[in-house]
Structure 1
């Protein structure tokens, strides 16, 4: 094992959005022994940075579901792939027509057109981010790092189907939570970006262990040598990986890493 890649919510973080001492200690020990540690999350960089820094070890940060890679020391963007303007325009048009809560992300700022919508309040409560009110018509540049539509999962599945008819395979759809349909550049997901980062470090995907719990972790868990679903993970992940550990509230990451003999 030369690398460990970790999702945050539902994986490294417990239900209180904290990293346990057990998880911190095992990651610190591995890092001191030369193992590359990577955070791979759907979260925006500013709130990912605070969590990553709390580990107090050298880290690579992959955020926005693989759309951006950051240098934690310098805040330099190492890699980025955005949604193109024509794609975003189609998403905006669809959401306005169908009265869906659309959230756009650009330059680490979260933009909405309605501060009082259910979706805005829900995301604000979950992410602890502050939304910026702005008409999507006022952007000089509509290239976005990602967009999120917020609704109940059964409704989002219908939305995804309709948007696929409009956008085809020109974008990547995923769910970071049941209520979050995320739309990104077609050439990014957690697995693809992790592979690019590891290749630059001279590490093969077969030499990496990855942990996750949600749909947006699937590509990553399937591409690495050892993909591990958390005990609290979606059933689709558990059915498609070889390893399942304890839940995020029971130090599942630390338990698996302590028991892994390779």
Structure 2
């Protein structure tokens, strides 16, 4: 029996305009009223996630930064946080400057960039609605960061990913949350591990959870649960890791799947 629903945001619960449809909002509220555990699992910061939580209109667990930070939105408390260590962050800063690829750093729910005027900063600002803080990356008091994010064209990021994996050999988790976003987190962090942690805290099992996703950073959680669902717009790697396939995000794939798959549990 299903008792929990885990949902990625961008490309999954949200449409291409980064909007929450009335269909998806309605179905999730119905499940919330029936005491299902609703869990948002996103690469976004908590500040960027709060906007969607407020629109949904009910408290839930928010797994942010791809699992590096977990928040109970009802109690407004952090359940878990695992930042990148300082030496790794310093190496990422050096690499960013060496290869001239834009780097975002996240600390205490603030988004830092060294160049506030480039296209990468503007691209991310429009996508998230967040306001960047311009800062020389040599001037942090602490280099513990919740997440690092490289932004560039996909071909450049793939070269960078290979360099980090093969040459730097850093103990990090790397994943593409979108084609132009290469996420870097602590090696013990990913969406799957964070979801497993929350389900255990709530006394739930992996085979009692449905998880929806579309991008590479969703693969761990989709392949981990019994009911892993890939969106119709998902990458092929995600579809290969899923047990089920639903419609695209712009056609309310989440709502369509939940209505059909779980209808029998409501009767």
TM-score by length of 1: 0.97
| Pairing 1:15–2:3 present | no
Q: Distance in 1 between matches of 2:167 and 2:201?
A: 36
CA distance in 2: counterparts of 1:40 and 1:241, whole angstroms: 16
Helix, strand or coil: the match of 2:148? strand
Residue of structure 1 in register with 2:229 after alignment: 228
The answer to whether the 8 Å contact 1:150/1:181 transfers is: yes
1:150-161 to structure 2, matched below 5 A, reads 150-161=151-162
- Structure 2 gaps of 5+ residues are none
- Is residue 257 from structure 1 mapped to residue 262 from structure 2 by the alignment? no
**Which residue pairs with 1:194 in the alignment?**
195
Residues in 1 aligned to 2:145 and 2:91: alpha-carbon distance in whole angstroms: 13
* Unaligned stretches of 5+ residues in structure 1: none
Q: CA deviation at 1:166?
A: 4.2
Per-residue deviation at 1:169? 4.9
Q: Distance in 2 between matches of 1:167 and 1:73?
A: 40
CA distance in structure 1 between the aligned counterparts of 2:243 and 2:192, rounded to whole angstroms = 17
Q: Distance in 2 between matches of 1:82 and 1:178?
A: 23
> TM-score scaled to structure 2, two decimals?
0.95
Query: Is this contact kept in 1: 2:105–2:148, CA < 8 A?
Result: yes
Q: Hey, what does 1:181 align to over in structure 2?
A: 182
Aligned pairs (5 A) from 1:2-151: 2-151=3-152
Give the SS at the match of 2:138. helix
Helix, strand or coil: the match of 1:140? coil
Cα shift at 1:58: 2.9
How many residue pairs get matched?
262
Tell me, in whole angstroms, the C-alpha distance in 2 between the residues paired with 1:144 and 1:21. Answer: 35
After superposition, the C-alpha distances for 1:218-258 in whole angstroms (9 at most, x for unaligned) are 10100011000111111111122121101111111111011
User: Hey, which bits of structure 1, 4+ residues long, moved more than 4 A?
Assistant: none
Question: What is the root-mean-square deviation in Å for CA atoms of aligned residues?
Answer: 1.2
